[in-house]
Amino acid sequence: MRTLSRVIGLLIVTAFIFATISTAQEGSKSSSGTKSAKEIFTTNKCNSCHEMKAEKISKTGKSKAPDLSMVGTDKNAEWVEKFLTKKETLDNKKHPISFKGTDSELKTLATWIASHGKKESK
């Protein structure tokens, strides 16, 4: 009977520890607000105008805005950040919509977009 009490006690403690760890992990993800670049792209409706064929993201609207799969061939993340916040131009035009997410999301998105089309260094 004493062994059974110890086993039950151990199971309760283990369950409590597991529940505490799971809750802490979920809380840290939601409190930090960390989203993937792909989520940022779609939640900010970038795909209303742009597609990203390299990521299998289709545009939802009828805009003639370009596919962003090759941006990294001639633009870096810093340029993309500036363009999305109307501090840089392309063909003497500013991006029609200023990015509305957080600075962290902007950096994540710009880095992700600029990484597409880059040649692998060998």
Q: For residue 33, what are the contacts with CB-CB under 8 A and spacing of at least 6?
A: 102, 104
Express each pLDDT in 32-67 by its tens digit: 567 999 999 999 999 999 999 999 999 999 999 999
For residue 17, the model assigns a pLDDT of 55
Q: Whole-angstrom Cα distance, residue 67 to residue 89? A: 17
Q: Whole-angstrom Cα distance, residue 81 to residue 102? A: 12
pLDDT at residue 81 above 70? yes
What pTM does this model have? 0.69
Band (25; pLDDT cuts 50, 70, 90): very low
For residue 122, the model assigns a pLDDT of 44
